[in-house]
Structure 1
Amino acid sequence: MSMGISGANQVIADTQSPVLSVSGLTTSFIREREWIPVVRNVSFDIAPRETVAIVGESGSGKSVTALSIMRLIPKESGRIEGRVTLAGRELLALPEADMKDIRGNDVAMIFQEPMTSLNPVLTIGFQIAEALVQHRGLSRVAAEAETIRLLDRVRIPAAKARFHEHPHRFSGGMRQRVMIAMALACKPKLLIADEPTTALDVTIQAQILELLKELQREEGMSILFITHDMGVVAEIADRTVVMYGGQAVETDAIARIFAAPAHNYTRALLAAVPRLGSMDGRARPMRFPIVDKVTGTSDEPAETPDTVSTAERPLLEVAGLTTRFPIRSGLFGKVSGRVHAVENVSFTLRAGETLALVGESGCGKSTTGRSILKLTEPDAGTVLIDGQDVLAMNGRTLRDFRKHMQIVFQDPFASLNPRMSVGTAIAAPLLANGLATASQARDKVADLLVRVGLTADMAARFPHEFSGGQRQRICIARALALGPKLIVADEAVSALDVSVKAQVVNLMLDLQAGMGLAYLFISHDIAVVERMSHRVAVMYLGEIVEIGPRASVFGNPQHPYTKKLMAAVPVPDPSRRGTRREAANDEIRSPVRAPDYQPPVRQYREVSPGHVVQVWGEEWSADN
């Protein structure tokens, strides 16, 4: 049996039987009266206290493998073959009643999106206590006490007071902690974590990973961790199973996987992983290396050409931008507070330049982008594009001017009409603005599809016929249709697999070099930002706390929040796995203020040419 890389795990693997043994697992789904295998002949073991990661892109079979182990594949449409043994007990042969007892008791599972796993009408305390009553036979009083202990264990602040709160009152990171508490309620032998950190900000992700490692040390449980992020794999796994096309193409200790990957697909995954610090000494953005998944051949990326305009006046000038949302309550809708989403934000952006806005969810990044395009009405400030005041425009004037500024959203499927062919979607802005005839629009669509790396004949297809990365390329093509000067990319690559993310980033850099586009690149992925930006602005609670050239901000971060963000980025280096980080339980503070709140006047200092940092006070003490 393969062994983990840590000494403790090695001894255990040598002396004890595996907690979980999967042999020849094949899962098929019926389609048009034919069984189609989506997981084929997968085998691996998990030793006591060991963490095994299943890694691969969307559609590789990772989650289906986990659902098959739990026997959560519908019998009407799915079929599971092979052997799955838990502590010597064959799961696939058990009656469903016995399997129900194992789920949540001996094997627990946490999913990617906790809000879909929690009942929104029940309190989180009741939901955890219910598992304790059902599986451990505790009384309601004892279950409540144990639930509070579990919430304390996963570092939910004021656990006793929050026992009776509903899921919507918790942030994404705190909801994931609730799911971990629920999973641990019955002290399982095996925890299956299916993409548990993918939807989380980088700082919250670091907290969850550290929490899982600490709980594993204390509880002695084994973990099957499913992800597409090789940086996360390096942080948490002892061994890795690499899946591609429903098959396990490589299985090895994590150190060997990273040092000498045997399969071309593994090499392609590793090559696409953004590594913070890889841009040291480079002034301009740089394309990702792309490794062919079949042949293993790789291109040699170079720095992109210098595209930043030297014109005296920037393309985009933002000054004192402020956007607040009123909170109304009571019978007459009186304003009881305001969300200070964007507070006195100022910056410039030149043609051919990429300015990245980074920060956690809720910091005001997306609202800043939407306010600049006047998709959200700001309360104050000025936004000039080519010297023209966007915020002063209305009606037809604004609609006509919007051809100079476009936006690409995070979820491409939600951005496209499922009943409209992609060719029609791309042609729509051309026809709506009277910029082309139907024949000219068809030619333009064909040209745009080729430009974004697709083919002209794809214009007749519908969104569901494309992968996530292809759909994002279609959204980029639609944004380019009107020949804009500025594109706001709002988390445009966050939902993509690592290799697809690299391809889309490379496409954006190529388009910028060829067309002189200016990008406002909104993201919480610091490593990707380092790869593609010229300048970086760090946002916290609606304010820019640090801004400057990318090399200066990342090479010499000054603000404590910038340092916190950078320290949380997972490093794809297994040798650093033993480095223990504190699993802080702090969340981003609330931007809600009283109706009469007046924000303080901020002071800034220049660290180096163009690198400016907000002067911070006691709120950023050493223990923040």
Structure 2
Amino acid sequence: MIPPVLSVQGLNVAFRSEGTWRRVVEDLSFDIGPRETLAIVGESGSGKSVTALSIMRLLPAVNARVEGRITLEGRDLLALPEARMREVRGNDIAMIFQEPMTSLNPVLTVGFQVAEALVYHRGLDRRAAEAEALRLFERVRIPAAASRFHEYPHRFSGGMRQRVMIAMALACRPKLLIADEPTTALDVTIQAQILELVKMLQEEEGMSVLFITHDMGVVAEIADRTLVMFKGQAVEQGATEKIFHAPRAPYTRALLAAVPQLGSMTGHARPMRFPTVDIMTGGSDEPAEVPDTVAAAERPLLEVANLVTRFDIRSGVLSRVTGRVHAVEDVSFTLQSGETLALVGESGCGKSTTGRSILRLVPPSAGHILFEGTDVASLDKAALRAMRRRMQMVFQDPFASLNPRRTVGAALAEPIIVHGMAGKAEAQERVASLLRKVGLQPEMASRYPHEFSGGQRQRLCIARALALEPRLIVADEAVSALDVSIKAQVLNLMLDLQAELGLAYLFISHDIAVVERVSHRIAVMYMGEIVEIGPRAAIFESPQHSYTKRLMAAVPVPDPARRAIRRGLSSDEIRSPVRAPDFTPPPRRYREVSPGHVVQVEDSVGAG
């Protein structure tokens, strides 16, 4: 029998909280063989990431207790001295973390950080390390890799930062790759490429993979075996095909029932609630269409016309402008009260910048933004602050948008108090209500952000956005960090609030199966431009632009039988949004396919 690369036996992990030890992983055992991929799935807070951190010995010894046996090719990792363990990390075991911004040093360029790993672990000189790092950047499809090699992490989108982390993890060709939600921040096309890259590296290097995810489509596509965790325990594990086709545990059945599937909205005119499931019995309810609250006869709540947002690139002693990033280029759309318009496209295509420009979190270069008939660009600081009470945003990276030095209760209460909506005592009651709405307990208000899992932090950000009872919410990957069961609950909450309050959502997402379910209209973005926009049914049932078709084809399907299908690594280059300072975008031509369904003509200069 071939010995496993990694063996975990009787793993128990406990954290000390308020003088008592609280067990978060209990009697967990599993093996990972050579070239094998084991997926660990479960709700946020179930112990998935803690298991990975225990293997890497990255839990703080002062308040964490790890017991059991963890062996890598026969070596007991828990018995190794710290100096030897540092050699194992990055060299024999590499890890891709869930939140790339907290893993990258903000004061060092991304190229330097990847090259540093190669210098330390593989003994390359600086020039050779930079050349290899650049090759890795190109391999994970970072556009204009050579020109962006010396940029800092804050200049990258969330998906781009995750690609840098993946390049760093793969740099030393480890025996075991631990991937903690590595594709959460990625759009479907790049996700498909990363999954294909991991498969290819397994074949070339015999690398084993421990893949932590909440996306059952990803599990079906990449995992040989699956382990399902709930409240720190393994409730089921076995071959992925068996888990999907004949799940034994009620919780596993509940997870599978909550997975949104592309094409499920055919024949439905309005957004539809997600099926909610009982995690103890696995039973699910029948989803229902959401009451239509779109008031098409009224003036649109939000009107965006010819929006342009560019960022200057300066260099030299005099900091002259040597180029510009054309992040958003001539974008126009409207949004009615009670309507959801989804922006979809690859990371770096301008989706998030569009949302930030609308709230004037980044200054637009040109165009008009009217909210409730008022020109947002004309507002002074006080008026803009008052307007932002009615325009809220849920950011992509939950940890970066929460103050690590304040309790989450204080973070939720602050905007309520600052805007004069309630006094301190009443604000605390509202905080408790908000926490319940997003599936958290009121007593969690006294905790700090680092005491929550990634999915729980995202729920906190959604609660904060709802605190001021806004009319428009710009949701930038608002549910991307959530596991499927909680994602269903939060999206149902958003749909219910929309039906009750007439909220408008600008829903920015790479999860097309979710987008199909919650949207009234969809805008597909590529290279800062909208290449196709129209009603949800028209886009999904009759996509016209080749890029729209490519996005839909890349969606992972929760069917393990498709795991053997090889997509092949694309050799297509992603065009760079960087242009010369005097560059003038060429005119675009559009055609109307059906009422409200408009597509960019692909023979336009530079299109597609």
With normalisation by structure 2, the TM-score equals 0.85
Q: In the alignment, which residue of structure 1 is the partner of 2:117?
A: 127
What is residue 505 of structure 1 aligned with on the other side? 491
Q: How far apart, in 1, do the equivalents of 2:362 and 2:78 lie?
A: 53
**Structure 1 residues not aligned, in runs of 5+:** 1-14, 134-138
Query: Map of 1:415-426 to 2, 5 A cutoff?
Result: 415=401
Correspondence 1:99-118 to 2 at 5 A: 103=89, 106-112=92-98
Q: Who is 2:320 aligned against?
A: 334
Instruction: Return the alpha-carbon distance in structure 1 between the equivalents of residues 311 and 75 of structure 2.
Output: 56
The residue that corresponds to 1:324 in the other structure is 310
For the residues of structure 2 that align with 1:443 and 1:125, how far apart are their CA atoms? 48
Aligned to 2:172: 183
The letter for the 2-side match of 1:183 is: C
| CA 167–593 in structure 1, closer or farther in 2 if over 3 Å, else same | closer
Which range is displaced more, 371-380 or 165-174?
165-174
| Secondary structure in 1 matching 2:272 | coil
Task: For structure 2, list consecutive stretches of 5 or more residues without a partner in the other structure.
Answer: none
Q: Which of residues 534, 542, 549 is equivalent to 2:528? A: 542
Contact 1:288–1:301 (CA under 8 A) maintained in structure 2: yes
CA deviations 1:3-22 (Å, max 9, x no partner) are xxxxxxxxxxxx53333333
Aligned with residue 590 of structure 2, among 604, 609, 623: 604
Q: Pick from 582, 585, 589: which aligns with 2:568? A: 582
Please point out which of 359, 363, 387 is paired with 1:373. Answer: 359
Alpha-carbon distance in structure 2 between the residues aligned to 1:562 and 1:419 = 43
Contact map agreement 1:272 1:289 (CA 8 A) in 2? yes
Q: In the alignment, which residue of structure 2 is the partner of 1:311?
A: 297
Secondary structure (helix, strand or coil) at the match of 2:171 reads helix
SS in 2 for 1:590: coil
1:405 corresponds in structure 2 to 391
Matching of residues 551-590 of structure 1 within 5 Å: 551-584=537-570, 586=572, 588-590=574-576
CA distance 1:28–1:252, shift in 2 (3 Å): same
Distance in 2, matches of 1:475 and 1:160, equals 32
Contact 1:427–1:441 (8 Å) recurs in 2: no
Secondary structure at the aligned position of 1:48 is classed as coil
* Alpha-carbon separation, structure 2, partners of 1:609 and 1:542: 24
Shift, 1:501, TM fit: 2.0
Aligned counterpart, 2:24:
38
Q: In the alignment, which residue of structure 2 is the partner of 1:136?
A: none
Q: CA deviation at 1:85?
A: 3.9
1:488 to partner: Cα distance: 1.9
Q: Give the letter for the 1:179 counterpart.
A: M
Matches within 5 A, 1:182-581: 182-184=171-173, 188-412=174-398, 414-415=400-401, 432-433=418-419, 438=423, 442=427, 445=430, 449=434, 452=437, 461=446, 464=449, 475-476=461-462, 478-480=464-466, 482-581=468-567
The 2-side partners of 1:528 and 1:321 are apart by 26
Q: What is the Cα deviation at residue 341 of structure 1?
A: 2.0
Asked if 1 retains the 8 angstrom alpha-carbon contact of 2:100 and 2:162, the reply is no
C-alpha deviation, 1:250, in angstroms: 0.7
SS in structure 2 at match of 1:309: coil
CA separation of 1:597 and 1:295: change in aligned 2, threshold 3 A = same
Q: Which amino acid aligns with 1:343?
A: E
The farther-off stretch of 60-69 and 559-568 is: 60-69
Q: Which residue number corresponds to residue 4 of structure 1?
A: none
Q: Secondary structure at the match of 2:12?
A: strand
CA apart distance, 1:522: 1.6
CA–CA distance in 1 between the matches of 2:52 and 2:287? Answer: 37
Quickly say closer, same or farther: Cα 1:345–1:55, change in 2 above 3 A. same
Alpha-carbon distance in structure 1 between the residues aligned to 2:143 and 2:327: 26
2:498 alignment partner, SS class: helix
Contact 2:277–2:485 (Cα < 8 Å) also in 1: no
CA change 1:344–1:250 in 2 (3 A) is same
- Distance in 2, matches of 1:160 and 1:481, equals 41
The answer as to whether partners of 2:254 and 2:283 remain within 8 angstroms in 1 is: no
Following the alignment from structure 1 to structure 2, what is the Cα–Cα distance between the partners of residues 174 and 50? Answer: 22
Instruction: Compute the displacement of 1:207 (Å).
Output: 1.1
After superposition, the C-alpha distances for 1:321-363 in whole angstroms (9 at most, x for unaligned) are: 2222233334444332222222111111122110011122222
Say if 1:410 and 1:106 are closer, same or farther in 2 by CA, change over 3 A: closer
1:358-398 CA distances to partner (integer Å, 9 max, x unpaired)?
Answer: 12222222222222233333232222334333333334444
AA of the residue aligned to 1:128: L
Contact 1:207/1:585 (8 A) holds in 2: no
The CA deviation at 1:549 is 0.8
CA contact (8 A) 2:94 2:170 kept: no
How far residue 255 of structure 1 moved from its aligned partner, in angstroms, is: 0.9
Contact 1:118 1:167 (8 Å CA) reproduced:
no
Contact 2:476 2:507 in 1 (8 A): yes
Write out per-residue CA displacement over residues 403-427 of structure 1, whole angstroms, 9 at most, x where no aligned residue.
Answer: 4433333345554556667676556
Counterparts of 2:166 and 2:292, CA distance in 1: 45
Which amino acid in structure 2 is aligned with residue 406 of structure 1?
A: Q
- Structure 2 counterpart SS, 1:325: strand
Question: CA distance change for structure 1 residues 258 and 324 in 2, over 3 Å: closer, same or farther?
Answer: same
Higher deviation after alignment, 300-309 or 361-370: 361-370
Aligned to 1:60: 46
Residues 315 and 350, structure 1, Cα contact 8 Å, conserved in 2:
yes
Q: Supply the AA of the counterpart residue of 2:117.
A: Q
**Cα distance in 2 for residues equivalent to 1:603 and 1:56:** 47
Q: CA deviation at 1:587?
A: 5.8
CA distance in 1 between counterparts of 2:493 and 2:143 reads 47
Task: Label 1:294 to 1:587 Cα distance change in 2 as closer, same or farther (>3 A).
Answer: farther
Structure 1 or 2, whichever has the larger Rg, is 1
Pairing of 1:14-53 with structure 2 (within 5 A): 15-31=1-17, 35-53=21-39
Identity percentage of aligned residues: 65
Q: Which amino acid aligns with 2:437?
A: V
Q: Distance in 1 between matches of 2:131 and 2:463?
A: 54
Task: Evaluate the alpha carbon distance shift between residue 444 and residue 321 of structure 1 in structure 2; reply closer, same or farther with a 3 A threshold.
Answer: farther
Shift of 1:299: 2.2
1:9 aligned residue: none
Q: Deviations over 1:473-502 (max 9, x none)?
A: 565555455553322222222233332222
Give me the whole-angstrom Cα distance separating, in 1, the residues matched to 2:399 and 2:436. 20
Q: Deviations over 1:82-119 (max 9, x none)?
A: 33344455544556666566555554444445676677
| 1:54–1:242 contact (8 Å) kept in structure 2 | yes
How far is the alpha carbon of 1:249 from its aligned partner? 1.2
Check whether the contact 1:324–1:338 (CA below 8 A) recurs between aligned residues: yes
Q: Secondary structure of the residue that 1:539 maps to in structure 2?
A: strand
What TM-score results when the alignment is normalised by the length of structure 1? 0.83
Decide whether aligned partners of structure 1 residues 480 and 25 sit closer, same or farther in structure 2, where only a CA change above 3 A counts: closer
Whether the aligned pair in 1 keeps the contact of 2:143 and 2:576 (CA below 8 Å) is: no
2:304 is paired with a residue of what secondary structure? strand
By how many angstroms is 1:506 displaced?
0.7
Quick check: 190-199 or 558-567, which moved more? 190-199
Query: Distance in 1 between the 2:575 and 2:364 partners?
Result: 22
1:432-457 deviation digits (Å, cap 9, x = unpaired): 555x5639965993796389367996
* In structure 2, C-alpha distance between the alignment counterparts of 1:17 and 1:349, rounded to whole Å: 58
